[in-house]
Structure 1
Amino acid sequence: MFSVSSKCIGGPDFKPLWVAPRRYSYHDIMVVVGGRKNSEQTSREALVFDEKSEKWEFLTKLPFVCTKHPIVLYVIGGLTTETKYSQASTSVYTLSLKTNQWRTVEPMLEPRFAHQSVSYLHFIFVLGGLGPDSRLTGSVERYNSMFNQWEAMTPMPEAVLYPAVAATNQRIYVFLEDRMPCRTPSESYRWETMRFIHCVYHIARNMWSKMENRTVKNVSAPAAIVDDKIYIIGGYIRRMIAYDTKANKFIKCANLKERRMHHSATVLNNKIYVAGGRHINGHDVIEDLDNFDCYDPKTDTWTSKGTLPYKLFDHGSLTLTHVSQTWAKS
């Protein structure tokens, strides 16, 4: 659309002034937030990666010190470390790329960390994790970004932490091989039996059902969706598999370059980008990573995209569409 403005100056000689239309350019960028930086330090950093330039830039820092939090356009809950004793948080922050500023929105109904979150339409679902007194929870709550409101949903069949979660076709899929936490007399956790948790949440019916297939054996692994396939990436192992939601079957994919956990993954232009995390080296020693790798589902291959500005784990990542406005030349 355009508009025409005319003005009469000293007679009937009209000179139209053509106003150029606004033009918008769109491109996807990857944002990495928080986590634990360089082995010990809890990070307030927020990074942005532009695929075109293949460069990292720093955004404004988080307004708080927090780790073990997922992000889906928002930073949700997590473990705050600003006080002497770490504690689960209900806080929710959102970042405006236009102003490069963080602001608070309505807090969660329950404090939690080591949970997972996933967005679907204008909703954000928060699942599981550790709540008050570090107790494992299977509670689920949903945030309506249009009305800035939280509501409790049907709890999960099992209490979980760090599950691989993805949403598509009115369903949320949860995949996890987890160790059952049991309390000792000293009230500390010890890890006993293994359990397999694969379930589906039907969003419209607010109902959970269990999946029969128990192929997935990934622990603390993120999930990403490309073309109706849910990719479950690493998790103390090198293996990556994809669950085809239409065919209801698992597909073996190319392995990661190393055993990896507590990393993040997001989809950028139909490719999966995996950032940071921790891995177990050949001497069974856990090391932090600054690796930044890319998986192409079309070729089933991994390529290195360099490194993060620092080693990082327990962070979150997501893809945002950046909109910039320009004016067309007349």
Structure 2
Amino acid sequence: MNEVVHAFAAPSAGAPLEPFEYHAGPLLDNQVEVAVTHCGICHSDWSMIDNEWGMSTYPLVPGHEASGVIVKMGSQVKGLQIGQRVGVGWQSGSCMACPQCMGGDHNLCPSSSATIVGHHGGFADKVRCDWQFAVPLPDSLNAADVGPLFCGGVTVFNPMLQYGVLPTHRIGIIGIGGLGHMALQFANKWGCEVTAFTSSESKREEAMKLGAHHVVNSRDSDAMAKLAGSLDFILSTVNVPLDWPVILSALGPKGKLMMVGAVLEPIPVPAMSLIMAERAIGGSPIGSPATIAKMLEFCARHKIAPQIETFPLSKVNDALAHLKAGKARYRIVLENDIAG
């Protein structure tokens, strides 16, 4: 059956989104089709709409933080059911044969498929993915809240899991925004002593409510100097250059600076600062389906949710304008109100 999907698409780079219909084609044996109820808006959607990364094809249906229910399944699908609530994130498939996939690191597969790269995404009434990447939702999690967890949430959760953050650690979170506000909640419930770095004094009280035990103005050189050698782990969620030598100096011996914010400029690193204290710098992308499932369980257990603002899908351009104006606090979620 050549099913029609109703969506919103960018017809060209940087153009406003327009109503769009396309024929989904036959469902593959290893795929599920999800009826989308909600879909978060991520900065990556914005980047793809504008073709900032040079890999967009048009018309482009963005959306890679979708939640909904399974309405169709291929013959090879295992462990899922029609009507089951699931979410679909940035990754929609992987080769299932490379060392990374066989080792459980599907998010590092060199042949992985992205939901909105060469495919149509979740700003629609339906979206498809390989069944392994449709992750079931715990009953206690709200469908409107979970979308941002599938990209922004797992982006900050994965490095805490992969790089051995312990409840005894003192952890710093740079940036209290779409990523950082979730990282604060995770770090606090992980059991860590949490320091929030922000250049906005207006966010101090909110950072404390989200889980920070301390808040430091990253532009205050005296305050930064007092942190020297005190932190075990720093997670940077911002995409702007910082005074990296000062940030590194806040790490104690064997401390790690982990980058999840896509800073486009090269990061100058004084080698001796790394060598003498055995410090390390690394990066982390999204997580595997298994990591996403662990994150969702952690959120359900500790009642963690992103702070969201909702817009109807039919008002997607208003929602994107709100995001571009820097007004989002802290994630935007679209509610499907178009005919399916």
Report the structure, 1 or 2, having the larger strand content: 1
Q: TM-score, normalised by structure 1?
A: 0.28
Q: TM-score, normalised by structure 2?
A: 0.27
Report the structure, 1 or 2, having the larger helix content: 2
Largest Rg, 1 or 2: 1
